[in-house]
């Protein structure tokens, strides 16, 4: 969704309140999802905010991260969970991971995930990870996520998660349907 000046309007989801704990089980430095600028059942754009720099290894090991920041890599995967907010999904496979540039842990990232296919309890996504200037850092093809369990339905859904939830549930109830749900507050664009 875009504002009148063309900039992205953040999705009304507070990661610390609405995601980490009720939906995402991650702790400590593995909580870098900072918000979403786009969120649907089959597509999301998430901001990954760098944590304070910390050593990943003991002083006797090299500090260089060969494939990038582990927390940012994990966040790229768990950022997709909000697209399927009523079922716990875990990664089981990836067809191709292309690292074009290993970025320092200190830079913010943007993850754009798009569902390519769903086969029963498995969801196949393609991802692009960019820096804040839009430079492509990584490309993931065929990330396969498997739904392993239903999650408890909250008493009240955070408004940003309601659209993906309704879209997924209708798709499950009306098998073979391809619909899009858009929810807006107060009738404003």
Report d(CA 35, CA 141) in Å as an integer.
23
pLDDT at 18: 76
Tell me which residue has tokens 């498997």. 146
Across 3-161, where does the E strand assignment appear?
Answer: 33-39, 43-48, 87-93, 96-99, 109-119, 122-131, 136-150
Query: In this structure, are residues 146 and 122 in contact, taking their beta carbons and an 8 Å threshold?
Result: yes
48-84 per-position pLDDT tens digit: 887 766 776 777 777 776 677 777 888 888 899 999 9
pLDDT at 182: 64
* Surface-to-core class of residue 179, CB atoms within 10 Å of its CB (0-12 exposed, 13-18 middle, 19+ buried): exposed
Print burial letters for 55-69: b (CB count within 10 Å at least 16), e (below 16).
Answer: eeeeeeeeeebeebb
Q: What is the DSSP string of 77-102?
A: HHGGGGGSTTEEEEEEE-SEEEES--
Residue 132: band (very low, low, confident or very high) from pLDDT cuts 50, 70, 90: confident
pLDDT at 149 over 80: yes
pLDDT at 112 over 90: yes
Q: CA separation (Å) from 81 to 12, 19, 53, 129? A: 16, 9, 26, 16
């Amino acid at each position: 969704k875009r504002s009148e000046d063309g900039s992205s309007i953040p999705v009304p989801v507070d990661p610390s309140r609405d995601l980490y704990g009720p939906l995402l089980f991650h702790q400590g430095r593995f909580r870098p999802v900072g918000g979403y600028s786009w969120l649907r059942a089959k597509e999301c754009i998430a901001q990954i905010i760098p944590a304070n720099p910390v050593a990943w290894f003991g002083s006797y090991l090299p500090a260089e991260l060969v494939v990038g920041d582990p927390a940012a890599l994990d966040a790229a995967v768990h950022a997709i969970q909000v697209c399927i907010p009523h079922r716990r999904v875990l990664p089981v496979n990836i067809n191709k991971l292309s690292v074009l540039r290993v970025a320092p842990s200190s830079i913010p990232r943007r993850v754009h995930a798009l569902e390519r296919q769903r086969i029963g309890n498995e969801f196949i996504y393609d991802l692009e990870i960019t820096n804040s200037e839009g430079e492509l850092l990584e490309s993931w093809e065929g990330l396969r996520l498997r739904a392993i369990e239903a999650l408890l339905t909250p008493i009240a859904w955070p408004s940003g998660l309601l659209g993906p939830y309704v879209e997924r549930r209708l798709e499950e109830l009306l098998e073979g349907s391809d619909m899009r749900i858009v929810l807006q507050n107060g009738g404003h664009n």
